[in-house]
Amino acid sequence: MDKLFSPFTVKHINLKNRIVMPPLASFLIGDDGSITDETIEHYRRRAAGGPAMVIMEACAVSPEGIVSPHQPVIYDDRYIDGLSKIAAAIKEEGAVAALQIHHGGRQTSAKVIHRKPLAPSPLPCPAIRGDVEPLTVDGIQNLVQKFGAAAARAYRAGFELIEIHGAHGYLVNQFLSKFSNIREDEYSGDVAGRTRFAREIVEEVCSRIDHALPVSFKISAEEYVDGGLTTKESIEILKILIEAGIDLVQVSAGNDVTPEWISQPMFMEKACLVESASQVKKAVDIPVMAVGRINDPLIADEIIRQEKADLVCIGRGLLADPEMPLKAKNGRLDEIRTCIACNTCMQSIFKKGRIECLVNPMLGREEEMAFVSTKTPKKVMVVGGGPGGLNVAWVAAKRGHTVHVYEKRNVLGGQLVPGSTPGHKAELRSLIRFQIRQTELYGVKCHLNHEVTANDIKALDPDVVVLATGSLPAMPAVQGIGKKIVLTYEDVLNGGPIPSNRVIVVGGGPTGLELALYLSERGCSVTVIEMLPKIGSGMEAMTKKVILKQLKKNNVTLLTDARLSKIEDNGVVVANQDNREIFIETERVVIAIGTKPDTKLYDKVKPLGYKIHQIGDCLEPRSAKDAIYDSAVLGRRI
């Protein structure tokens, strides 16, 4: 990967390689916009992992420009001290420290800013809705000054590059796009008019920092909406901004209506925005950064090798494994904890108000979950080789315990094995590979094809027993459930024969929808029945949007408020809200309504007196993220 790890220069800034961490919301900011110790440690860890540059997440240039109470702000001098600690931490670890300045415009809520959001036009944000306040010319000029003042503060705080956020449906992007800008003055109309606000910001920023730092501009080259920006039009915009003073461009995509192009789920192709970056690179004479599901250093190297971009932005990949650049440079590719594009990070931000990662439980908890060697080594027996069992095993072994893992199947991975069978979820296998590699590195002894009994536990006589025996498919208590036409999701996804022709999938949650997509892609005529009024409950929003679009394309029928009443030899009886029953003919019925804990072994072992822990699905139905987090905590506690 000599191209990826070759040096590069932007203006007078020397980069040691071509890897950049782009701005990603951490939600590790105090409620008042202050920088916490967690924030500093978060950025220190990412910089220490070997990227050439780390761009701090979007900092609001004005109070009404924030999109969350946990967003960092840069609209007052009192914030310089906290921001300077982040810049210093990044530079101490050998990376260039950069900062992005930002205004949310209409893409925020009155609940957050306690007033109407500002916008270029009287068009509310399609995703958030609510009245907005169109900016006057004086208001525009005031914001131009605020962007400039923010850049000056970033300079004083010690940052070495400034990026202007002109993408993702935020204020600057709102002016650039006919989708959101219907003004009738000099800040609208043709490309030059719609670019005027951005151009004035660039000129003001360059003036305030006395052209001492490189200035980057982030653009959504494609918005994927009617009337939105296209790469061709974005190139025209960038040529204007280059004349105004930008030195670098980050080529992204999407806006408030198309967030799946901002944080692409696993259903979307890796490096899916690179062609836009390549087109921009051919048309402009400044360096270009590519972004968008670049989670593999081999792919990143190929992008540079083919001269489709000068730099690659790896964002979620560095949340999953901050050491990815160093591991790649040293040839330790099999030790990389790869981002699987599950968008747990995004979902946790919206639902929990903090960032979390399915594959990396340390994210946002770097100090809390630091590894500390044990002073009292123990013999640990882990029963179950799924994600929770493997994770607790290698974490405990890394701390100095002797660990044995027993798995009744002939492969490790647990529910991740059937879960990774659909093609769009194949990246889950990288998590299995990572966990297995960690057990190898830390000397965990794995025993396959071994279903543990109480006698096995007595024979090994461990100090600690960890039960990670997983779960069994839950089955509805309906007449006919034992008929030959009935399968479970595991029957289909664990290598069994693929049903043909007509299939009923019972359950419209994440597993049911993924199974329906898998079967429809193999030629089945699929109907999903879900007893709740809405489909896809619990599914991450962007993933849900993409999968529902694909199911529609594949002509999958989705029935909600529909309860499975009875199974016949050639079909099912389904009842609606009014208990009216209909018969649906089918060749196969696949049950995907969830799981139930497998507690058989626990009930036998509990009387033996061993110190026992239960983790994952054998305790209660859990997600892979919960199992990995719980096992990471337990592995550090044993």
Contacts of 553 (CB under 8 A, 6+ apart): none
**Rounded to an integer, what distance in angstroms lies between the CA atom of residue 290 and that of residue 83?**
26
Q: Which of 43, 75, 79, 170 is catalytic?
A: 170
**Rounded to an integer, what distance in angstroms lies between the CA atom of residue 342 and that of residue 340?**
6
Q: Residue 333 is which amino acid?
A: L
**Rounded to an integer, what distance in angstroms lies between the CA atom of residue 318 and that of residue 295?**
8
CB–CB of 494/418 below 8 Å?
yes
As given in the structure block, the two tokens for residue 453 are 């009994």
Q: Residue 8 is which amino acid?
A: F
Q: Which residue has the tokens 């935020």?
A: 170
CB–CB of 250/218 below 8 Å?
yes
Going by C-alpha positions, the residue among 469, 470, 520 that lies closest to residue 492 is: 520
Q: Residue 480 is which amino acid?
A: G
**Rounded to an integer, what distance in angstroms lies between the CA atom of residue 492 and that of residue 503?**
12
Residue 360 host element (H or E)? none
Q: 148: which DSSP letter?
A: H
SS3 content of the chain, % helix, strand, coil (to 5): 35, 20, 45
Helix (H/G/I), strand (E/B), else coil: 402: strand
Contacts of 533 (CB under 8 A, 6+ apart): 560, 561
**Rounded to an integer, what distance in angstroms lies between the CA atom of residue 620 and that of residue 313?**
38
Q: 117: which DSSP letter?
A: P
Helix (H/G/I), strand (E/B), else coil: 268: coil
Strands 595-597 and 557-559: unpaired
**Rounded to an integer, what distance in angstroms lies between the CA atom of residue 393 and that of residue 164?**
45
**Rounded to an integer, what distance in angstroms lies between the CA atom of residue 273 and that of residue 250?**
11
**Rounded to an integer, what distance in angstroms lies between the CA atom of residue 139 and that of residue 116?**
14
Q: Residue 105 is which amino acid?
A: G
Q: 188: which DSSP letter?
A: S
CB–CB of 101/163 below 8 Å?
yes
**Rounded to an integer, what distance in angstroms lies between the CA atom of residue 166 and that of residue 160?**
19
Alpha carbon separation from 375 to 11, 314, 339, 393 (Å, rounded): 52, 38, 33, 17
**Rounded to an integer, what distance in angstroms lies between the CA atom of residue 34 and that of residue 30?**
5
Q: What angle is formed at CA 317 by the lines to CA 436 and CA 65, rounded to 5 degrees?
A: 145
629 is catalytic: no
- Burial (CB count within 10 angstroms: exposed 0-12, middle 13-18, buried 19+), residue 484: exposed
**Rounded to an integer, what distance in angstroms lies between the CA atom of residue 483 and that of residue 179?**
54
HSE-CB for 359 with a 13 A CA cutoff: 26
Q: What residues form DSSP beta bridges with 445?
A: 404
Sign of the CA dihedral with 116 first, then 121, 123, and 124 last = negative
So which residues are the catalytic ones? 170
